[in-house]
Structure 1
Amino acid sequence: MAENENTAKLAEVAATELFSEFFWDRSGPINHDWPCEDQERHSVKTHPCDVVYFYDEPYSPVRTYVHCDLKSYAKGTIRPASVKAAIESLAKQVACAEKSDAWRELHGHDHVTAEICGLLFVYNHDGEYESDFQKNLLSVDPEALALPRGSKLFVLGPKEIFWLDNVRDEIQRMRGKRPAELPSHEYCSFFHPQLIRRANLQSKRAKAATLEMLTSPMIILEHRDPRGSSRRGIIVFYSRPGDTADEFMYLIDTLRKHELLDDDTNVLIKTLSASPISSPTFQRAQQQYIEGLNKDAMNTDLAEYVNAIKYEPMNKVKSTYSSIDLGTWQ
């Protein structure tokens, strides 16, 4: 499962394009080694670092640093043993980063409360991997990993990266249309609701999509009117196929609970790899949701807001990068 230099750069290029659209920023150098803080336990003198990204958390005054291991593999080289080894190595890296002055000098910022998590990014550069990537994780025992208590480690496999890359492409496509369907970045942010027990403490600063959002079925992008009016747009990127009215009714109810249905908000739901009957199924869900409220709900403001929600399946795209071209321009 070895990567040559040019193939390895494919994951770097893919991650850079992907996460920049989700408002992640890069911090410090890329592709470097730093001293291990627990050489006896980890059996290494140094740890690798491919890249570190950061974003501000919405529900706490914390900055999250995402220490990444970027892998770029062809279809036949993604195997359970190698994925397990990469996860175990990444867990050690995160454990050391949390107590390493050298790591913080390279990647941290002064006067912020920092949390460090790990991300294994498994990019399939030939676009032909069709197997269930989750089976590669069955042999990984989370309790046996060398992670400090409370630390997190995320894994994005080919399917997840494909989904997120399609969201990225759709955002850029909408922004590039004439007339544009999305304003420039300064008027956009990813939506973090005001929860009952977790208030959004940094609504202006925390514009990024968190890892928790990127690994959930729903990514919500909010955009404001550049002309300064009170109108806003909400785009819900929904990763599930939409084969039943019940799942769409649950989605509509979630939007209502997050107070995203009102006079000043336009709501658009977009899905990828949707069921062939997802459009009529969504229309039925709108009707059933309103009917389920009460017998007179059809004439209420909420019924108007629910009926105004638009639904559009997305077209699939598959981003590919040439290792030959990357090698040529070194």
Structure 2
Amino acid sequence: MSGGETEKIARLAELVSNEIFSFFRWKKEGPANLNFTCVKKETHAPSKKSEHTHPADVVFKYADPYLNKAVYLHTDLKSYSVSSITLDSIKKALKSLGKTIDCARASTEWQTRYHLAKRERYEVRGMLFVYNHDDEYDKNFYDHFKDYKGENLHIKDSQQIHIVEPSLINYLKTLQVDVNALRAAGTFPKDNYTFYYPDLVLHKASGEYWERAATAELIASPYMIIHHKEVISYCEKAMKPTETYSEGYLIYYRRDGSSEIEFRYLFDALSRFQILNANKDLKIRIRVANRYHHSSILSNFNAAINSYVTEWGEDENRKRKLQAIELDIVNHAIPNYKPEAIGWERD
């Protein structure tokens, strides 16, 4: 494979990540694709005589509402064919990323480039982004670790590394495409939305409510709750802004809906979060973004409503709110960048 072609394939992961994460309010910090000097060479590359560096493909930043601090995700972007996604390639990437994060925490060069808000509370984490550019990967990514023998990956106890693997990338791309379709239909706002974080026993959500980002934990969770304001669109006939959709909750659901019980768990969560119990009647939409959703998902959803209402003593108000929930299946989307298309780009 030529160097130019290799470079084009590597750039695919960069394009996909740029598209996906802006909706979740992740911001890119500092320069991309720029190495920084290793400050722990005796540990990270003891046999190397020349200067050792660590790669920095891109650094994303968001505010974590539970930790009340900024999270910097030093990201390794990988664009692999299906045959290249192996346990060995994953281990190699994780080892490199573990050393990189260890160094970034102590590196003045890294701090100067990427940590620009000097007074903020923050932490540095790693993120491995594995994009399958030939669209042929259909396995459970974590099955690769069944053969893992426990060898040292150089990830310290205090470090966190998030993995965004092919199926999660496809899920996030599906969300992005669906949100754009809802915006075009005038049923989701461009800016007036927030990712919902309930107050927990040990953690209260912090920060400006309507500006909260989706954390790395949230984007990989079984469901994601988005609270949005009413949608205001410009009416060309009336030549003035008009409300096209009311305030509500948009819930992206990642499970397959194969059982009634999973929807009952979801209803329990919505009750605990005071979404079902709120005095104000807000629209609730559940958008199932699972490529392999169960054929009986709608039946299971309706059965869950009936059994949940029965558990609560036929509470008519609760029944009305549950029956008003809209459940729809989202068309699955896959990033479709190809190396040859990148080659035709004009400067």
TM-score scaled by length of structure 2: 0.87
What is the CA-CA distance between 1:304 and the residue it aligns to? 2.0
Cα displacement string for residues 201-249 of structure 1 (whole angstroms, at most 9, x for unaligned residues): 21437521100101111111110125699x6311111111001111100
Tell me what 1:277 maps to: 296
Q: Which of these residues, 193, 199, 203, is aligned with residue 204 of structure 2?
A: 199
Whether the 8 Å CA contact 2:231–2:247 is kept in 1: the answer is no
Q: Which has the larger radius of gyration?
A: 2
Tell me the matched-pair count: 323
Q: Which of these residues, 33, 41, 57, is aligned with residue 50 of structure 1?
A: 57
Relative to structure 2, which stretch is displaced further, 43-52 or 63-72?
Answer: 43-52
Following superposition of structure 1 onto structure 2, how do residues 15-26 of structure 1 map, counting pairs within 5 Å? 15-26=17-28
d(CA) in 1 for partners of 2:125, 2:259: 36
Following superposition of structure 1 onto structure 2, how do residues 132-281 of structure 1 map, counting pairs within 5 Å? 132-139=140-147, 144-177=152-185, 180-185=186-191, 187-204=192-209, 207-225=212-230, 232-261=247-276, 262=278, 263-271=280-288, 272-273=290-291, 274-281=293-300
Whether the 8 Å CA contact 1:55–1:206 is kept in 2: the answer is no
SS in 2 for 1:144: coil
What is the CA-CA distance between 1:42 and the residue it aligns to? 0.6
What is the CA-CA distance between 1:132 and the residue it aligns to? 2.5
Q: Which of these residues, 129, 143, 158, is aligned with residue 137 of structure 2?
A: 129
* Residues 1:141 and 1:105: Cα distance change in structure 2 (over 3 Å): farther
Whether the 8 Å CA contact 2:195–2:214 is kept in 1: the answer is yes
4+ long deviations beyond 4 Å: 139-143, 226-229
d(CA) in 1 for partners of 2:63, 2:210: 7
Q: What percentage of aligned pairs have identical amino acids?
A: 30
What is the CA-CA distance between 1:150 and the residue it aligns to? 2.7
Tell me what 1:116 maps to: 124
* Residues 1:38 and 1:126: Cα distance change in structure 2 (over 3 Å): same
Unaligned 5+ segments in structure 2 are: 233-241
Unaligned 5+ segments in structure 1 are: none
Cα displacement string for residues 127-176 of structure 1 (whole angstroms, at most 9, x for unaligned residues): 11112221223455778333343321011111111111111111111111
Tell me what 1:103 maps to: 110
Relative to structure 2, which stretch is displaced further, 25-34 or 199-208?
Answer: 199-208
Is structure 2 residue 94 aligned with structure 1 residue 87? yes
RMSD (CA atoms): 2.2
SS in 2 for 1:194: coil
Which residue type is aligned with residue 286 of structure 1? I
What is the CA-CA distance between 1:52 and the residue it aligns to? 0.3
What is the CA-CA distance between 1:285 and the residue it aligns to? 0.6
* Residues 1:20 and 1:42: Cα distance change in structure 2 (over 3 Å): same
Tell me what 2:237 maps to: none
